[in-house]
Every structure is written in structure tokens, then in C-alpha cells.
Amino acid sequence: MARTARFGARLDVVIFGACVLLSLISMVLPTNLRDPVAGTLRRSLVAPLMRLQLGAEQWRAAYMRSERVELSRDTVALAAARVPTLETENDRLRKLLGFGSKLQWGFIPAEALQGRGRAEDFTVTLSAGSRAGVRERSLVVAPEGVVGVVQTVDPTMSLAILFAHPDFRVSAMSADASAVGIVQPHVTTSSPTSEPAFLRSERYLLEMRGVPFRATLKPGAVVYSSGLGGIYPKGIPVGVVLAEIKTPESWARTYLLRPAVNPAELTSVMILTPQRTAAGLVNVWANVGPVDSATRSIVAAGDSLARQSATKEAEARRAVIDSAARLIVDSLRRDTSATPRPAELPPLDSAGRARAVRDSIAAARVRRVRRDSVAAARAKDSVRRDTVPGVRP
């Protein structure tokens, strides 16, 4: 037994030594002998393992490729999802740029950061403060119209109340100033079912109260600030008439307005300095409302036609006067030898022409009288004396 064990141990050592020796020989084999051995191993023992490895690497390559494809698809989808947002932002910035060029001076651009809390529905945080020139009660506007008023000012930021704030009031009027009233936030009635469904679905609605009963506003009419009250200058769009609502006040009408600015889409605003507000904003929103712009264009077209016809009439009159003056000058030159030659004539102004016309008319009258008297005398001379009764030749 021990002999067998010893034999086994020796055999193990011999095998180990042989393996080490073969390994060392393999390491020092020249290339021309090593390559056939390695090639034989690759073609026989390692070949199925290599096929396994090749398959695994192909799987990995396919997985990586699919991951890349998925990544690029996600990137494209993400970019496509951002396009509408970018378009909207681009449109808004373009509007703001155009608005800034219309305002020309006295405004502070600011980013509007909207609160997400329920109590922050009526306020907006602005990214400009007293260091930028913002003051309390500065007017906040957007390219579409009125936004609100600055309430609190910090050095680097300020807080403004929106038109949806319960304290918001602005004196407003229609585009033709036929209807004047006070605009304030629309508070939902206790029985909301009494309102039409489309009104209940709207947020931030306004109402224009105290409109005289004789003044009616059609849906779609733009309502502007009237300038009464001191805070809001005249001509800022406040909203668009949605419908008339029934109130207990029977002596005045109340209209429901959709605000010109949607607070949910508010990102950039302009804060007007007090000097700019005092200077007035009448021409800034000149082409805001399509109805007003159409009216203005019609009026402008009518004015231009009237101006054109007046110009033509004046030109015709001037032409008549000129021709008359020319005729008179010519006739005067023919009648009187003492009349200076045309080259010596002084240039006639309009007063001179009128005087010449008057003179020529007077001279013509004199000449006609003379001609009549001469003709009468001739007629008297042409009568034969023998035909005259009682007269002998």
C-alpha cells in the first residue's frame, strides 16, 4: 500500500516535471515549430471554444448596436419633443423683441418665474429688482397686454401681482371708447352651473363692470385700459370680450373678458419705469387687435382718398388760374405798347396772378363797354340821312 502510494507520488512528480519541461520547451520553441503546434490546437481543441467566443462577441456587438440605435432614437424623439417648446419660446422672444423696439425706452426686461403653490396663483416673481430700476407700483406688461403691477421690490428680484389678483382693478374702454367700465377678476359664482360650460373651463377670467346700458360690446371686441385712475396708462390691451353676463345691476352691463395675457404661458415680461408710464403708451399696441387695426386701416384708406381728391381739386384750380393769368398777360401785352416784353415781366406770384385776373376782368369790361359804344356810334353813322324822315340829302 505504501509502495503504491510512493509510486503514485513519484508518478505525480514525474508528470508534473514533464508538464513543466514541455511548457518550457514550448516557450523556447522557434516560430516555425511553434506555429504548427498552436495551429493544430486552434483547429482541434480550441476550435469549438473559439466558435463560442465568436458567437458571444457577435451577441455583444448586436446588443451594443441595438443600444446605440435605441439611444439615437431616444435622442431624436427627445429633440422632436422639444421642437414645439422651442418654437413657442422663439415666437415669444421675437414678440418681445418687437415689443421692446416699439416701447423704445423706459422698460426693464425680466424673466417671470411662476410659483407652483396654490397661494402663488395671483403673483409672479420677476428676475429684476431695484438695482435694475424697478420701483413699487411699476407696471408689468407683455407683448399681448397688461400683466400686473409690481408690489414688492428687492435688490435683485421683485414680486408682482397678476391681473387675476382679487385686488386688481383697471379702468377700461372699448377700442372706439364708446363703452367704459372697470375691469376686475372674475370670481366664480356660488352656483357655477348657471354659467355656460365654456366659461367654467376658463381660468383667470376678467369681468368688465359698470358699462353703460346703452353701450354694447360684441364678443371678440378688444378692451383697452382707459388711462383713468393713474396707474395704467391709456391703450394697453386688457382682454377680449367673451360674452355678457347677467348681474343684479340692471342699470349697467357686465361683460366677461378673456385676458390678453395667459399667465400660464408667461415667461418674459417688460417692467415699465414710471417715466415711461407717464409718457403714455397709446401707440405701442397700435396693431394689437385685429378689429382695431382693420378699423384704423379703413380710416387711413378713407383719409388718403380724401387727401388725394383734395390734391387733385387744388391742382385743377391752380391750372385754371394759371391759364387765365397767362391769357390776361398776353391780352395786356397786345393791347398796350407800353407793356413790357415778357422777358421784362416780373414773375407773378399767386397774389399777383389774382390781381392780374381782377385787372384783366376790369379791363375786359372797359373794352367791351368801349366796343359797344363804338358799335352804337357806327350804327348811328351807317343810317342814310335821306332815309331819315324830315332830313334831305
Given the rule CB under 8 A, which of 57-65, 73-81, 323-331, 365-373 is the region that contacts other proteins?
57-65
Q: Residue from 7, 36, 49, 302 that binds other proteins (CB under 8 A)?
A: 49
Q: Is 330 in the site for other proteins (CB under 8 A)?
A: no
Residue 190 identity:
S
Q: Is 68 in the site for other proteins (CB under 8 A)?
A: no
Write out the binding residues for other proteins, residues 250-309 only, by CB under 8 A.
none
Q: Is 20 in the site for other proteins (CB under 8 A)?
A: yes
**Nearest CB to other proteins, comparing residues 28 and 351:** 28
Residue 195 identity:
E
Answer whether 271's CB lies under 8 Å from 107's CB. Answer: yes
Q: Is 167 in the site for other proteins (CB under 8 A)?
A: no
Question: Distance between CA atoms of 234 and 252, rounded to whole angstroms?
Answer: 22
Q: Is 192 in the site for other proteins (CB under 8 A)?
A: no
Those residues whose C-beta lies under 8 Å from the C-beta of residue 188, and which sit 6 or more positions away, are 195, 200
Q: Residue from 6, 7, 36, 59 that binds other proteins (CB under 8 A)?
A: 59
DSSP strands (E only) in 154-202: 158-162, 170-174, 180-185
Write out the binding residues for other proteins, residues 228-257 only, by CB under 8 A.
none
Q: Is 27 in the site for other proteins (CB under 8 A)?
A: yes
Answer whether 128's CB lies under 8 Å from 271's CB. Answer: yes
**Nearest CB to other proteins, comparing residues 42 and 368:** 42
Q: Is 202 left (phi over 0), alpha (psi -120 to 50) or beta?
A: beta
Question: Distance between CA atoms of 128 and 270, rounded to whole angstroms?
Answer: 10
Q: Is 25 in the site for other proteins (CB under 8 A)?
A: yes
Q: Is 119 in the site for other proteins (CB under 8 A)?
A: no
Count, residues near other proteins per rule CB under 8 A? 35
Answer whether 38's CB lies under 8 Å from 31's CB. Answer: no
Residue 158 identity:
S
Given the rule CB under 8 A, which of 25-33, 120-128, 161-169, 248-256 is the region that contacts other proteins?
25-33
User: What is the enclosing helix (H) or strand (E) of 210?
Assistant: strand 206-212
Map residue 345 onto helix, strand or coil.
coil
Q: Cα–Cα distances in Å, from 324 out to 182, 282, 344, 352, 390?
A: 63, 49, 20, 12, 52
Given the rule CB under 8 A, which of 53-61, 81-89, 193-201, 357-365 is the region that contacts other proteins?
53-61
- Cβ neighbours of 192 (radius 10 Å): 10
**Minimum distance of other proteins from residue 32's CB (angstroms):** 12
**Nearest CB to other proteins, comparing residues 34 and 326:** 34
DSSP string of 290-353?
A: HHHHHHHHHHHHHHHHHHHHHHHHHHHHHHHHHHHHHHHHHHHHHH-TTSPPGGGSPPP-HHHH
**Minimum distance of other proteins from residue 44's CB (angstroms):** 10
Answer whether 181's CB lies under 8 Å from 207's CB. Answer: no
**Nearest CB to other proteins, comparing residues 34 and 307:** 34
**Nearest CB to other proteins, comparing residues 1 and 187:** 1
- Cβ neighbours of 98 (radius 10 Å): 11
C-alpha cell at 41: 490546437
**Minimum distance of other proteins from residue 71's CB (angstroms):** 18
Q: Is 62 in the site for other proteins (CB under 8 A)?
A: no
Given the rule CB under 8 A, which of 23-31, 78-86, 217-225, 285-293 is the region that contacts other proteins?
23-31
Q: Residue from 7, 12, 305, 307 that binds other proteins (CB under 8 A)?
A: 12
Q: Is 316 in the site for other proteins (CB under 8 A)?
A: no
Q: Is 383 in the site for other proteins (CB under 8 A)?
A: no
Given the rule CB under 8 A, which of 41-49, 157-165, 187-195, 212-220 is the region that contacts other proteins?
41-49
Question: Distance between CA atoms of 154 and 147, rounded to whole angstroms?
Answer: 19
- Cβ neighbours of 310 (radius 10 Å): 10
| Residues that bind other proteins in the complex, under the rule CB under 8 A | 8, 11-16, 19-20, 22-29, 34-35, 37-39, 41-42, 45-46, 49-50, 52-53, 55-57, 59-60
